[in-house]
Chains A and B, each alone.
Chain A
Amino acid sequence: MTLFSESGGITRRQFFKGSGILLVSAVITGIFAKIGFDASAASDEYINKRIAAMYTLDEKMTLRKSHLNPEIAQIYKDFLSPGEVKPLTEKSERLLHTKYGKDIPALIEELKKPHEPGAQPGANHAA
């Protein structure tokens, strides 16, 4: 029976087509990888922009140090440490400080007690 088959070699044109498609695939892979890298860089950029915006806001403010905020001085003098600016008074400890972990239950008990004579009306109505 007659058997027909292809001859084995390749022509120059076939060689170039074969190599060409491999090259194109490599290029496409490279482009895709570049898209990935660019996306990685771009997807993080928003953080830098928001950070820059915050520092710019800081630069534009007239007051840039916490202890120079006049309302801060006022809350200390009027309320937290009457007559002076003194952090860490007993009132500050109660209102502005807390405890963590296993110290919390005792703190809650402490806070549920009335604060001091002359405390706010309804000070016993804890959450």
Chain B
Amino acid sequence: MSAILTEGVIKVEGTCKTCDHCTSVCPTGAITGLLGQKHKIEFKKCLNCGQCLINCPFGRIGEVSMMDQVKAAMKDPNKYVVVQEAPAVRVALGEPFGMPVGTNVKGKMHAALRQLGFKQVYDTEFTADLTIMEEGTELINRVYNAVGAVKDEHAGPLPQFTSCCPAWIRYAEINYPKILPYLSSAKSPQQMFGAVAKTYAAQKLGVDPAKMYVVSVMPCTAKKYECERPEFISSGYKDVDAVITTRELADWIKESGIDFVNLKDEEADKLIGSSTGAATIFGVTGGVMEAALRTAYEILSGQTLPAVEFKSVRGRKPVREASVDIPIKALGGKPLTVNVAIVTGTKYAAPLIEDVLAGRSPYHFIEVMNCPGGCINGGGQPIRHDAY
């Protein structure tokens, strides 16, 4: 049993300065300790989200690293190492190299990964699109079932919750097991990627999937926990072998002497590497919702969207709601008002969950992201010290 699964990803170091700032950023109160006392993380409650890590004023919180395994796999002639990167990585990877915050380094990121020696440089955005297809269709089925248009015993209840954030999944499993049936059954893009890489891609590439080693570059520390989960073996192997964070990738690029800032842009490899704008915005709070709405609207209505953007789901407020009228082709064009909610910051999900369990939730679809602002502010992202 992996140490990550038994002990967690995030560790407070012994030299905690007892300032007690972290307890306020922890979404679940998993950190024990009073002001003046060394703080500790209670693994049984910890979501592995890493918010405490990026907010510790003294950098005294660390994470388990899988870099050694990744480097060993790169050196192993028997391994065919491929990589995927989350949307949120590409607007933050430039920061450790002195680039202004929010610079888009998508092309340089792909180029750097090739130089590091990955055999295929794919893109998690591909499976983000796949997630929309699967999860969007699942939602449509649940809605049809709920409004009586189609009878489907397998369809889940409404509202449907998104399921791409592993910290949110763990929160639900620990605190609200009764809400689990409402979660989408779709895996996260990271995990979908591992499954299709070792089946579909391996087949197309002519690579023995037993030799394929899938690495994932994520803005998130909880993804390290996610990849270790014992149920993620759909491909017949461990779907995602290792996860490294944006910070760890930046360090690795520096160690390798790659001149990141001056790299020429490169594209991801074809097959499971191409992506859309909908996939890109997965890294932002409201992004999964908007991506899902773009597809759901067109599939349900059979029409092209008049405007591609759904600005009503965007923003920084911890809980936001919106309503979208979608004409349903299967009901002769009758409009259905779809009510959605977006939560950024797991601690804000509790009231909505309570409403759902009490049967008084007005929503059809709820997006929950653990990190304030979305994955772009994840526990694996470069740490900022801006004061002015």
A residues at B contact (CB < 8 Å) = 38-39, 42-43, 45-61, 63-72, 75-76, 78-79, 85, 87-88, 92-104, 107-108, 111-112, 115, 119-127
Contact = CB atoms under 8 A, between A and B. Distances in A.
12 contacts: A42-B387, A47-B376, A54-B88, A64-B277, A67-B295, A72-B126, A75-B196, A79-B200, A87-B138, A95-B195, A124-B236, A127-B237
* Most chain B Cβ neighbours within 10 Å, of A64, A68, A121: A64
A120 B233 contact: no
A120 B209 contact: yes
Contacts, number: 228
B236 A115 contact: yes
Interface in B256-296: 270-281, 283-285, 287, 291, 294-295
Nearest to B106: A57
A71 B270 contact: yes
* Most chain A Cβ neighbours within 10 Å, of B141, B185, B270: B185
Contacts of A45: 101, 386
Given A75-B200, A120-B203, A57 B278 contact: no
Contact of B276 (A52, A64, A76): A64
A97 B53 CA distance: 30
A99 B103 contact: no
Given A54-B376, A67-B295, A101 B173 contact: yes
B276 A43 contact: no
Contact of A125 (B92, B180, B236, B373): B236
Nearest to A114: B236
A113 B238 CA distance: 15
A54 B104 CA distance: 8
B44 interface: no
Contacts of A92: 134
A108 B233 contact: yes
A55 B281 contact: yes
B37 to A, nearest CB: 25
B288 to A, nearest CB: 11
Contacts of B132: 66-67
Interface in B28-75: none
A47 B373 contact: yes
B346 to A, nearest CB: 15
A106 to B, nearest CB: 10
Q: Secondary structure of the A side of the interface?
A: helix
Contacts of B339: none
Interface stretch (B16-24, B186-194, B357-365): B186-194
Given A42-B386, A42-B387, A126 B236 contact: yes
A111 B281 contact: no
Contacts of B276: 61, 63-66, 68-69
Contact of A50 (B102, B183, B208, B275): B102
Given A69-B129, A97-B134, A107 B231 contact: yes
* Most chain A Cβ neighbours within 10 Å, of B138, B177, B183, B231: B231
Nearest to A35: B387
A127 B275 CA distance: 29
A47 B91 contact: no
* Most chain A Cβ neighbours within 10 Å, of B134, B169, B177, B203: B134
Contacts of A76: 133
Nearest to B183: A100
B76 to A, nearest CB: 17
Q: Which 5 pairs from chain A and chain B are nearest by CB? A: A58-B277, A64-B277, A49-B102, A127-B238, A123-B236
B295 A97 contact: no
A61 B195 CA distance: 27
